[in-house]
Structure 1
Amino acid sequence: MNKFILATGGILCALAVMLGAFAAHGLKSHISPSMITVFQTGVDYQFIHGLALILFGILSHLGYRLKWASIFAILGVVFFSGSLYLLATTGSKIFGPITPIGGVCFIVSWLIFTISVVKHQSVQTK
């Protein structure tokens, strides 16, 4: 699972760079500046949570149990960023109500992370 979490984080970050470049160069002439901003918000959150997955994967190697935090971060990217990408590129408002579901997933992910860190019992050597 740790390798999957790390790899997923890396892929999400790479895709965020590609999507950010696509928005800046490919979409600029096709959608409004406000929709570019919406798209870029999706990219920003995807990048942050890709990095979070890398953090979660590294901490998992140290014994932290972050499987569910990782799952919720991935779901957050799919629902939050994905809905913003679709909203910006299609103009269809039907995707708007999906975005908060992703936001809740992000919040749950960070709360699970926090609880995991607080409850973690580290082995101390003398």
Structure 2
Amino acid sequence: MNKAIVGAGTLFGMLAVILGAFGAHFLKVRLPEAALDSFRTGVMYLMYHALFLLILGGMDVLKVRAKRTVFYLIASGTFLFSFSIFALTTAPLAGLDLSSIGWVTPIGGLLLISGWTLFGYRVFRGLN
């Protein structure tokens, strides 16, 4: 399980660097500032949670079941949150209207909040 968590963290970190560079160089001249700010938010959350997964994968404070649940919540929340933002902000460049998927972003946010809450509860209450 730790290998999968560290692998996901590594992938998210790599994608955050690639997408950050993409935003800074390619999108900077193509997107309005508000859209670029949203894209940056997606990149920041992707990197924050990449680092969190790398730390989680190296921790032995949680039992496997609790760690697995936190991992699934954080990984799926990060994917839904960040990648929906990426899709929504860049879709106009391809002439697409993806506003109908806007509901995905807050679902991702709720999964992230749930993952952090469970993590904190399990660590601080010792019920891992």
> Do the two structures share a fold, i.e. TM-score over 0.5?
yes
Residue aligned with 1:30, SS: coil
Matched to 2:28, the amino acid is K
Name the structure 2 match of 1:124.
none
Range with bigger deviation, 29-38 or 96-105: 29-38
Matched to 2:85, the amino acid is L
Query: 5+ unaligned residues in a row in structure 1: which ranges?
Result: 122-126
Name the structure 2 match of 1:79.
80
Between the two proteins, what is the percent identity of the paired residues?
34
Matches for 1:78-117 after TM superposition, within 5 Å:
78-91=79-92, 92-117=98-123
Q: TM-score, normalised by structure 1?
A: 0.88
Name the structure 1 match of 2:29.
29
Cα distance in 1, alignment partners of residues 34 and 99 from structure 2: 14
Query: 5+ unaligned residues in a row in structure 2: which ranges?
Result: 93-97
User: How many residues get paired?
Assistant: 120
Matched to 1:104, the amino acid is L
Cα distance in 2, alignment partners of residues 95 and 35 from structure 1: 16
Cα distance in 1, alignment partners of residues 47 and 5 from structure 2: 14
Q: Could you tell me whether the CA contact under 8 Å between 2:61 and 2:123 is conserved in 1?
A: no
Q: Could you tell me whether the CA contact under 8 Å between 1:84 and 1:99 is conserved in 2?
A: yes
Residue aligned with 2:31, SS: coil
Cα distance in 1, alignment partners of residues 7 and 53 from structure 2: 9
